[in-house]
Amino acid sequence: MARARIVEVGVSSLNAGSLQSRPDAVAVEEPLEIRLQDEALAVVMRTPGHDLELAAGFLLAEGIVAEADDLVTLRHCEDGTDEAYENVVNATLSGARAESAGSLLARRKAERSTVTSASCGVCGKRSIESLQVDAPPFDAQPELRAESFLVMPHRLREAQAVFDKTGGLHAAGVFDSEGRLLVVREDIGRHNAVDKCVGYLLMREMLPMQGATLMVSGRCSFEIVQKALLARIQTICAVSAPSSLAIELAEKSRMGLLGFVREGSLNVYCPDGRYVR
């Protein structure tokens, strides 16, 4: 049974100087444990739905898998009695990936104990350097056509069904080279929404995709550029601002990075933009 993404709660609203009680729809947030070869790898807080895509995208972003064939199975854990297992996904790997799973788990655990998720300056610089091995820069800068990007926020917003009811979710979407919207995913975490989109494409063997664009509904952090780079999606559009480290990684990787894409305007940070190091 699919887990609910929306729950109804009671709320008191102040309107015209008086408090009124009414029901309100809010987005669900629950933990998802991702296991690798039956061993816990990570726990992410997410909005239920598209959990397998989230796990697949997460594994690609972590460098644990590179293509769909690396996954033998990817499924929810079940013991027949405890619904908590619906919040657990286990991945088993094939070939050399399976052989190296143990060292991968040990290394990821060590990294998570020393590297902050906010990508502080020193850790972020080190991350950029290490990324050049697993995800080298693109061969050439992307061609950016402003008119194709200006319509993306509207198309993304139209597809945000849960946001319409709760106002509490981020969204990510991937567009092809012709501007067609291929997939939209919503989640309480912007990184999860990106992982769900990437996982969708990975599981359908649609990666890498020449000329694709990732659109996110909020700001663009280093981690979002990192996820796009590892998925070989060369251009990113954000409704809000990018961070300095996101710009640096995009520039070093010959990616397109656009921010404040909304209401008929946009800023191009890469490849034509400037920023302070």
Active centre residues (catalytic): 120
Give the phi and the psi of residue 74 in degrees, each rounded to 5.
Answer: -150, 110
Token pair 């597809």 in the structure block, residue? 159
Contact 23, 13 (CB under 8 A): no
What is the H or E stretch that residue 185 is in?
strand 181-187
Which residues does 159 contact at the CB level (< 8 Å), separation at least 6?
A: 171, 173, 181, 184
Contact 9, 65 (CB under 8 A): no
Establish how many alpha carbons lie within 13 A of residue 111's alpha carbon, considering only the half-sphere containing its beta carbon: 17
3 state SS for 218-230 = CCECHHHHHHHHH
Give the phi and the psi of residue 213 in degrees, each rounded to 5.
Answer: -130, 135
CA distance 252 to 208: 19
SS3 content of the chain, % helix, strand, coil (to 5): 35, 30, 35
Work out the burial of residue 165: count CB atoms within 10 Å of its CB; fewer than 13 is exposed, 13-18 middle, 19 or more buried. middle
The Cα-based distances of 65 to 87, 97, 216, 247 in angstroms read 21, 7, 23, 26
